[in-house]
Amino acid sequence: MSYPYVLLSAAVSLDGYLDDTGPERLLLSSPADFDRVDAVRAESDAILVGAGTIRADNPRLLVNSAERRAARVGQGMPEYPLKVTVTASGDLDPAAKFWHTGGDKLVYTTDRGAERAARLLGDSADVVPLGPALDWRVLLEHLRVVRGVRRLMVEGGGTVHTQLLQQGLADELQLVLAPLLVGDTDAPRLFGPGTYQAGRLCLVETRRIEDVVLMRYEPTAPGTGPAPVAADRHWLGAACALAALCPPSGTAFSVGAVVVAADGTELARGHSREGGDPVVHAEEAALAKVDPADPRLAGATVYSSLEPCARRASRPAPCSELILRAGVRRVVTAWREPDTFVDAADGSGVLVKGGAEVVVLPEYESQAKAPNSHLVR
Ligand SMILES: NC(=O)c1ccc[n+]([C@@H]2O[C@H](COP(=O)([O-])OP(=O)(O)OC[C@H]3O[C@@H](n4cnc5c(N)ncnc54)[C@H](OP(=O)(O)O)[C@@H]3O)[C@@H](O)[C@H]2O)c1
């Protein structure tokens, strides 16, 4: 499965509302922040809003700066990002500005909504039915594979943001806090009720922009099954970055590993040959830093740039065995072990046999291989 990078963007009042209930759109951002949003749009291949936002705000969703549009064209991108909306009803106003400004438009809908949307919109947009219900994973894969979208900016509203965050499909949240209060419980909120990751998101940046504050967050909680979530990709990326820190070796791989609890708390990290130990493996080094009685291990995920080893001569137990003994039952890795040192190594097989889930994310394989290029044929 290949998805775009999904960035959720929103501005909220101090009491957490996206808008008020008046007929006009409530302006929450400051002029300089609108310009920042314009820059983020310019870096995106596509911008998505729900049909509710088109109905409520009648937005154009353009890159307003001529310089930014020229820069896009200079880089071989279309002048404007693709504009995307989602609707189940297909009830879209053909006179809305969304359809008459900017570049290409795309509507994802249900089989039921498709007929209505196509009838209302004519050739103003491509209408793509995704079956009886809209599955966000199918939508994101279609955007990436069929439309070539690598970076998707989602500009609301709350119904759409809520689903993407709850389903673990948001890579980043860019939230602007505006210094005003709405105070009307009928106004739309950014996130609705439901199940979110249990722990804290990772705050990666704060920035004052005139009188508003931009906060950037990344979700941290690992997935719970075979389908990867955005946080799985972040943690595996961190493991791959650790692999690059290993002292070089001509006789062993350079590998990084991170152990993460179900609520997104990092329990430990390690890399090959760390601390002057010439034979220690990354997963072994990381697990050695966690109290074996830590109850969080049972729900934890181990991220390893290379599949945990199945057999080894340097220590009594291979890493796949150490992971199972620690009680961990989910492993995410970038790269299956090649035959360089061990024939038919199958750490994943050992893990699966022991009751663990193994998720391979091949999009990280080249990053995992980079510090090992001298070892791989
Ligand atoms: N402050 C900000 O940054 C910001 C940004 C954007 C919007 N807003 C505000 O947010 C409000 C609108 O938010 P909202 O939550 O009402 O609307 P929304 O999220 O923009 O759109 C919801 C609509 O999208 C479609 N949709 C969503 N999920 C779907 C799914 N899984 N399958 C099929 N269709 C799906 C449905 O359309 P159908 O009803 O057609 O089936 C649904 O009614 C407005 O007041 C707007 O001003 C604020």
Distance CA 214, CA 11 (A): 9
Distance CA 90, CA 110 (A): 8
Q: Which of 252, 244, 246 is nearest to 342 (CA)?
A: 252
Helix, coil or strand: residue 154: strand
CB neighbours (10 Å) of residue 151? 15
Distance CA 162, CA 215 (A): 17
- Residue ID of nearest Cα to ligand 1 atom 8: 157
Token reading at 208: 């004052």
Q: Which of 55, 57, 87 to mutate to test the pocket of ligand 1 (most atoms within 8 A of CB)?
A: 87
206-264: pLDDT as tens digits: 999 999 999 999 999 999 999 999 999 999 999 999 999 999 999 999 999 999 999 99
- Residue ID of nearest Cα to ligand 1 atom 16: 52
332-365: pLDDT as tens digits: 999 998 888 888 889 999 999 999 999 999 999 9
DSSP for 58-106, written as a single string: --------HHHHHHHHHTT--SSPEEEEEESS----TTSHHHHSSS-EE
Q: Which of 20, 358, 63 is nearest to 186 (CA)?
A: 20
Helix, coil or strand: residue 255: coil
Q: Which of 26, 47, 49, 86 to mutate to test the pocket of ligand 1 (most atoms within 8 A of CB)?
A: 86
Distance 56 CA to ligand 1 centre (A): 9
pLDDT value, residue 192: 95
Q: Provide CB contacts within 8 A for 359, sequence distance 6+.
A: 223, 226, 228, 232, 330, 331, 332, 333
3-state class percentages of the chain: helix first, strand second, coil last, to nearest 5: 30, 20, 50
- The number of the ligand 1 atom at minimal distance from the alpha carbon of 56 is 44
**CA distances for 323 relative to 170, 196, 243, 318, 348, angstroms:** 28, 27, 19, 9, 11
Is the pLDDT score of 80 beyond 90? yes
Q: Which of 18, 25, 189 to mutate to test the pocket of ligand 1 (most atoms within 8 A of CB)?
A: 18
DSSP for 166-234, written as a single string: HTT--SEEEEEE-S-----TTSPBSS-SS---SSPPEEEEEEEETTEEEEEEE-----SSSS--HHHHH
Distance CA 272, CA 278 (A): 8
27-78: pLDDT as tens digits: 999 999 999 999 999 999 999 999 999 999 999 999 999 999 999 999 999 9
Q: Is residue 302 a contact partner of residue 256, using CB atoms and an 8 Å limit?
A: no
Report helix angle 31-42 to 66-74, nearest 10.
Answer: 10
pTM listed for this prediction: 0.94
Q: Is residue 85 a contact partner of residue 108, using CB atoms and an 8 Å limit?
A: yes
Domains of the chain in sequence order: 5-218 (3.40.430.10), 230-372 (3.40.140.10)
- Residue ID of nearest Cα to ligand 1 atom 32: 134
Q: Is residue 356 a contact partner of residue 330, using CB atoms and an 8 Å limit?
A: yes
Opening angle at CA 222, ends 221 and 223, nearest 5 = 120
3-15: pLDDT as tens digits: 999 999 999 999 9
Share of the chain above pLDDT 70, in %: 100
pLDDT value, residue 15: 96
